A and B are shown apart, each in its own frame.
Chain A
Amino acid sequence: MTNNSKENVFLNGNDLRHMIMEACKYFEKYKEAINDLNVFPVPDGDTGTNMSLTMMAAAKELQTFASESIGEVARVAAYSSLMGARGNSGVILSQLFRGIARGLSGKEQARITELGRAFQYGIVYAYNAVSKPVEGTILTVAREIAKGSRAAIQTPLEFTDFLRIGIESGKKALERTPEMLPVLKEAGVVDAGGLGLIVFLEGCLHSMLKRTAQEQGTTYIDENETFSMVEISEQPAAKITSGNISEEFDPSLPYCTELIIKGSGMSSQKIRQSLEGLGDSLLVAGEDNLVKVHIHTGHPGDVLESCLAQGSIHDIKIDNMIDQFKETQWGRLSAKSQPVRPTGKVTGGIGVITVSSGEGLDAIFLSLGSDKIVSGGQSMNPSVKEIVDAVIEVPSDHIIILPNNSNIKLSAEQAADLVEKDVMVVDTRSLPQGLAAMLGLDKKKTLLENHQEMCERAKQVKTGEVTYATRDTTVNNIRVTKGSIIGISDGNLLICGSSVESATRDLINTILSDEDEVLTLFYGQDVTGKQAQEIVEILSGEYPDLEIELQYGGQPLYYYLLSIE
């Protein structure tokens, strides 16, 4: 690190490399604490693990990749973290890296402001990775970090201060996540992914402080005052004076609008006042007969109208900044990371890739026409690379992916983007939904037709899951104690019982309705065929009109998966 003045602190590839590797180590310590923040006390609550594995993929690659070029290090970190991304939070984290890489692209070293800007890009990329952003999640936290730090980089400041400001804003947002998402409030937790993002930034800060201390010959003590984890800081955010035109933007104000107003007797102050409510990064320059306007807005039309009231408008330029980010597709990160072009034989027809766990379920998916199983799901989310490999391996140009878990959808979508094949992801959120979707598969039809039909079919089935609680909590007004047996249906925890049998029966009783005709029970690896048979006998007595089918699923952690139609 070259330290001239605050303004001119340079970071090179090595600095960034160490920062990421340190941050990864740091994150590792808090992984389990983040896992514990899962809303549902289910054994597959692994936000911390997913994020950790994602950054580990980057750290591992960087261990053997030493470069002075900060752009190159960022590129490698982005590529390897995306390939290693697991779970939604992992994918979002990998997008953060991707944005940073975009910001540092082609640079040998970066000034603090440039690094800050690159982080800003990262945050925007992370935000854009999700098609329907939900407030109260990692995205809210990401956005607030961006907002809080955006202005900060306009004035000379230490990178560590920049990180501190970002972290503080993030923590404030994190604190509010339970207010935005009722499930979090009830479970008494903050959003796990959001915390993960903050912990990662804390890791970066930690690494920087350590390095500075080393350079100054002092010892850096890992005090806990900065790294407050779940406990939210009450400290007010640093006051930052607003800069002028910034390169960064708020995703809700995506239109960078510039124009010149020609008139007479104009006042730039008046014009500024009239535009202030319409966006940010406002700049009004000039006076009297010529005024130049720059603004980031959500409603460029309103800006134009408002300016028209002052005079005639000229040289109008409106850019959607989100497009500018999106245009920077993966391939542009570097020539080395072009979309993967599969070699080998490609046959016609539709290929189907299914994420499944349990030998029984795998076999059922294969029997229904699935071409390839990617192992994972309930207990372990597959990485983007594992899905990419499967997409390449299946000898068809048109691929359907069934993630069968809401936390694998983003990884599947990222994988779809990475391979030069027509790939569509059916948003199946459970294995029963995946099986229902498979029944709609008709390999003679087009990819689009199949996608549509399979999406439709997935909605027509009710899912039930029986597992054990990993901690004490309250969900849906149900008190859950660690180790008790819980029943979940389509994302709602409905039952807490003491035995697998009673919880399964109660869950079925709760979700079964008169129109339902078929109940299929998939028993997991922790249940014997005899035990499963006994439950079926009881259920047959209780529901004489219901057709009940028992199948060996072999899934880990979940005693039973139920499919009801």
Chain B
Amino acid sequence: MAKIALVTDSTAFLDKETLEQYNIEVVPLYVNFENEVIVDGTIDNATFFYKMKKASKMPFTSQPSPGDFVKVYERLIQEGKEVISIHISSGISGTVESANNAAKIVGQSLISVVDSHSTSAGLAMMLITAAKALEEGRTREEVVAIMEGIKKKISLIFVPDTLEYLKKGGRIGGAQALLGTLLQIKPVLCLINGKVEAFDKVRTMKKALQRIVNELPTSSEGLHLAMINAETSKEHIEILEKLIEERLPGFSYKKYELSPVIGTHTGPGVVGLAFYQYP
């Protein structure tokens, strides 16, 4: 049986150790400032948001080109490997499309492209689940089936500090309705079917965080949970940690920073949770 390689994109924002441990290849997205292109994942969030604040024009993000994927896929196939390529939701990025186009060029029979319907910590946890399944000897088809199962139930719920960035980036989807609100609100958003939708609206951060935690299962059985944040205030992170501890005492989980590409759309100060139960 051929060896199977995992490919993802930079929005999963996995740390170097994890990538090496599970042999995961990363194809980066880009953040385009007026005079500079930043390869996603090559810059830390503090520097990035500082740059963004200083920039006279909002940067825009772009997906990898099919060519970026072709290079990676060809190399892996030459190494005699098959590929499972798991990516940021097609509802908010064209990355999956680029990957599919590349697969058509390189050879669809050897490459499975999966639309995660998620991103960031959600995508990261799916990759780890996939890597572990491969370690257990599952086939490409089996792993793809597991991913397809998870993407139906994965939740990514978050509170941006403001809706401004999502609005400017055009990735606001059904949360559009919240824009006309005259009263300042804390919008609780989520990815539903891979698109940004309004989940709830409250007036305070504490209530927003409580609202997110209320969505967590009450049992930690098979629970994959991670916190997402990007230059988020320590206070908000601590409140969320406390709420999770109250709901799932002793349960441990990782915290993921958002990659600059995602941060471009959410803005700094965002906080949220990604989770699913598997098996």
Interface residues of A (CB under 8 A from B): 363-364, 367-369, 435-436, 439, 460-461, 515, 517-518, 520, 547, 549, 551, 563, 565
Contact = CB atoms under 8 A, between A and B. Distances in A.
B58 interface: no
B27 to A, nearest CB: 37
B185 interface: yes
Interface of B: 177, 180-185, 200-207
Given A439-B203, A549-B183, 18 more contacts: A364-B183, A367-B180, A367-B181, A367-B182, A368-B181, A368-B183, A436-B203, A439-B201, A460-B207, A461-B203, A517-B203, A517-B204, A517-B205, A518-B203, A518-B204, A520-B203, A549-B184, A551-B183
Contacts, number: 39
B206 A520 contact: no
Contacts of A563: 203
Chain A: interface secondary structure?
Answer: mixed
A565 B181 contact: no
Contacts of A565: 203-204, 207
A363 B182 contact: yes
A518 B184 CA distance: 10
A552 B44 CA distance: 41
B188 to A, nearest CB: 10
A163 B180 CA distance: 58
Contacts of A439: 185, 200-203
B15 to A, nearest CB: 33
Contact of B206 (A368, A436, A517): A517
Contacts of B201: 439
A367 B182 CA distance: 6
A131 B213 CA distance: 37
3 nearest A-B pairs in the assembled complex, by CB-CB distance: A517-B204, A367-B182, A364-B182
A546 to B, nearest CB: 11
Q: For A368, A435, A551, which residue has the most chain B Cβ atoms within 10 angstroms?
A: A368
Contacts of B177: 369
Contacts of A368: 181-183
A518 B206 CA distance: 10
A563 B184 CA distance: 12
A83 B206 CA distance: 44
A149 to B, nearest CB: 52
B183 A367 contact: yes
Contacts of B204: 517-518, 547, 565
Nearest to B181: A367
Nearest to B199: A442
Contacts of B185: 439
Nearest to A442: B200
A532 to B, nearest CB: 16
Nearest to A461: B203
Contacts of A369: 177
A492 B208 CA distance: 29
A515 B239 CA distance: 12
Nearest to A453: B200
B269 to A, nearest CB: 13
B12 to A, nearest CB: 31
A356 to B, nearest CB: 13
A436 B180 CA distance: 16
B81 to A, nearest CB: 45
A458 to B, nearest CB: 13
10 contacts: A364-B183, A368-B182, A369-B177, A435-B183, A436-B203, A439-B185, A460-B207, A461-B203, A517-B206, A551-B182
